[in-house]
Amino acid sequence: MPNRLAQETSPYLQQHANNPVDWYPWGPEALELAAREDKPIFLSIGYSSCHWCHVMERESFEDPAIAEVMNRLFVSIKVDREERPDLDAIYMNAVVAVSGAGGWPMSVFLTPDLKPFYGGTYYPPNDRGNFPSFRRVLEATANAYHQRRNEVVASADQIVEHLRHNAAFPGDDEELTPAVLDVAFKRLAPHIDAEWGGFGSNIKFPQPMVHEFILRFGDRSGEPTAQVMVDLTLDRMMRGGIYDHLGGGFHRYSTDRAWLVPHFEKMLYDNALLVRLYVHAFQAMGRPEYRRVAEETVEFILRDMRDTAGGFYTALDADSEGHEGLFYIWSRAEILERLGQEAGERFCSVYGVTEGGNFEGSNILFLPQELAAAAEQLGLPVEELSAELEEGKATLLAAREHRVWPFLDDKVLTGWNALMLGALAEAAAVFDRSDYLAAAEANADFLLTTMRDADGRLLRSYRDGDAKLKGYLEDYAFLADALLSLYEATFEPRWLREAQSLAESMLTLFWDEDVVGFYSTGSDHEELLMRPQDFYDNAIPSGASSAALALLRLGTLTGVPRYAEVANIALRSMRTSVTNQAIGYGHWLCAMDYALSTPKEVVVVGDREDAATKALLEAVHSRYIPNKVVAGMATEDDPIADELALLEGRGLVGGLPTAYVCQNYACQLPVTDPEALLEQLGAPAGAADPSQLDSYLLPAKWRLNPTSEAGE
């Protein structure tokens, strides 16, 4: 018989609906029961594409004997961390404090007043080496709660005090200077893998926000090493197995240094952030491969991850038919059968496919060498080989469609959708893709209508027509920022007005003048053990860093001083932390780079359907200018000119579409010629010599002096 989770919309919770465990969702019913019956709470937090969450479910939560112990001794609550990042953050910090490590599935034991007193992650069903069985842990914690109550309460109070002490962020009110960015780069540069790119020597995550900062730093400083670091990483990633060469899109992370064997889950947020990074890298370096990867990744999202209502789904699991990666791997025989002997042999040669395989006897497709080198080796023109490979990829992709698919988490999360919305808007503008723009506008419409309650409060999660849970700081900040990008791609005033409305709500709900920072939960949120603040840029940007950057961009566009003032207060408070641990604060560094710049203010006046207007816009979007805002209108009589200071007094010159480039509201002469506009923008095109990739050496001047301090 299904348990209470059958009534939930989260696919992760529904995966546990037929467990013999008497699961409750987080809410008053479970919390009141724990207090009334004086039972400890077992809190299990995970997500649908978490491999070890599935393992623990099969081994323990589906075991009737273990379920009987849980039902007798605990009130058991299951939480989807993607729906409730607040609970995940609070209790993950507790697990780390108790056990020294964190991860998912997260297993936490709470007193009825929600104080954690013990916790860990995955527990095996039987004793395994130094790991006690889950049943033994259950019985021991329940016994401790009832037999040694004073010790448990004292321990819980100590853990809560530790959490509150760590949450009391000390801040920093010194002025920001460019030296902060210099020191951050010096701390990052020595850790780049000079052969394969990225950071780390074994497991590697893509780190798009850190590479966004490095790309910005290269633009700011003129230091060519920065661009080479980004080029190296993006080149190696797009050629590795972490990239899906048939269907587009990136897997979660690589289990090896060379980006070959991924953990095969695909997350919406990873792909959104990487689309944006590859778009920016294309602008900065002009490599057509970067445009191809960005477009293929967008096509994957639009094809496989889009809800008919306009939202984007959360994730594709790593497993299918009980095996990780089975959906994505190929034998040599399969490829030859599908493509024919001659074309199949060439395909296998290009994509590193061998008889023995590179993953559990099968093959993950990857590019061991650049296409030009492969074409030379095969004695074919690059164009001819490329066309044949595209045809082969389409054939194999069509065949793959008939395999058993990985599980799709089809809930829609506002913040993650907003990341994709921003990436779509930028890709549409840079690549002149009207189809991307249509998808972005449909998504924005969905988020601004379906993902709001009757009072206009932004909501967090949606599935099967049901939107629920109050939105968090990240939902507001990501969406405000994305709508600014959509405005810049369309000049549709609605998107700018909605972004400003969200920013005002964000300041009301999440900003606290007393703590000089943003909370992750709104002032109208349910009362929890504590009110969380999220500072780290982890897999996604922190809500606070995103709020700061969105406010800075909005302040430049609208001229409202308060937006930049709040953003700069938040940025100053992070100065010391960011310079001491740059890799955990990539998006903060991007916001600081913006704050320390004098952003270009670009205005384009002219009918967007006019070829001359399009030529000016193409010039604006063709170059990498990270610190800029773009505004526009069809004619000088457009009513939006009365709302936006940037547009005041701007008009056509000689009846022709016209561009204005300004800084601090002081403008150069208006221009009608795209070449003249590029000259005023002053952004060079081109990249460092790609031949540097295989012989990269870190210049001595960027090797960190161990005695140097942040800000020096």
Residue 695 pLDDT grade (very low, low, confident, very high; cuts 50, 70, 90): very low
Question: In the structure encoding, which two tokens stand for residue 45, read together?
Answer: 């937090």
Q: What is the mean pLDDT of residues 221-249?
A: 96
* pLDDT in the model for residue 704: 35
Taken in order 602, 603, 607, 611, the sign of the CA dihedral is negative
Q: Are 483 and 495 in contact (CB under 8 A)?
A: yes
Question: In the structure encoding, which two tokens stand for residue 489, read together?
Answer: 């791609």
* pLDDT in the model for residue 422: 98
* pLDDT in the model for residue 667: 87
Q: Are 422 and 478 in contact (CB under 8 A)?
A: yes
479: β partners: none
Q: What is the mean pLDDT of residues 23-51?
A: 96
- Of the candidates 125, 14, 13, the residue with the CA atom closest to the CA atom of residue 60: 125
- Per-residue pLDDT at 548 exceeds 80: yes
Q: Which domains does the chain have, with CATH numbers?
A: 4-167 (3.40.30.10), 179-320+409-595 (1.50.10.10), 328-402 (no CATH), 600-681 (3.40.30)
Q: DSSP readout, 627-680? A: SEEEEEESSTT-GGGGT-GGGTT---BTTB-EEEEEETTEE---B--HHHHHHH
Q: Residue 211 and residue 471: Cα distance in Å, rounded?
A: 28
* pLDDT in the model for residue 122: 94
* pLDDT in the model for residue 683: 66
Tracing tokens 């594709």 back to the chain, one arrives at 316
Residue 686 pLDDT grade (very low, low, confident, very high; cuts 50, 70, 90): low
Residue 1 pLDDT grade (very low, low, confident, very high; cuts 50, 70, 90): confident
pLDDT digits (tens, 9 = 90+) for 298-326: 999 999 999 999 999 999 999 999 899 99
pLDDT digits (tens, 9 = 90+) for 559-577: 999 999 999 999 999 999 9
Q: Residue 495 and residue 482: Cα distance in Å, rounded?
A: 9
**Helix, coil or strand: residue 108:** strand
Give the 3-state secondary structure percentages of the chain, helix then strand then coil, rounded to 5. 50, 15, 35
Q: Residue 468 and residue 664: Cα distance in Å, rounded?
A: 42
Question: In the structure encoding, which two tokens stand for residue 266, read together?
Answer: 């695909």
pLDDT digits (tens, 9 = 90+) for 480-521: 999 999 999 999 999 999 999 999 999 999 999 888 899 999
- Region of poorest pLDDT, from 468-472, 473-477, 662-666: 662-666
Cα of first residue to Cα of last residue in the chain, in angstroms, is: 64
Q: Residue 51 and residue 206: Cα distance in Å, rounded?
A: 19
- Per-residue pLDDT at 705 exceeds 70: no
- Per-residue pLDDT at 690 exceeds 70: no
How many Cα atoms are found within 13 Å in the side-chain-facing hemisphere of 593?
A: 27
* pLDDT in the model for residue 710: 29
Q: Are 464 and 524 in contact (CB under 8 A)?
A: no
* pLDDT in the model for residue 685: 56
> E strands along 27-91, which residues?
41-46, 75-80
pLDDT digits (tens, 9 = 90+) for 515-537: 889 999 999 999 999 999 989 99
Question: In the structure encoding, which two tokens stand for residue 342, read together?
Answer: 């001659």
Q: Residue 100 and residue 109: Cα distance in Å, rounded?
A: 16
* pLDDT in the model for residue 170: 62
φ/ψ bin of 606: left (φ > 0), alpha (ψ from -120 to 50), beta (otherwise): left
Residue 692 pLDDT grade (very low, low, confident, very high; cuts 50, 70, 90): very low
* pLDDT in the model for residue 687: 53
The whole-chain average pLDDT of the chain stands at 93
Q: Residue 683 and residue 604: Cα distance in Å, rounded?
A: 18
Residue 169 pLDDT grade (very low, low, confident, very high; cuts 50, 70, 90): low
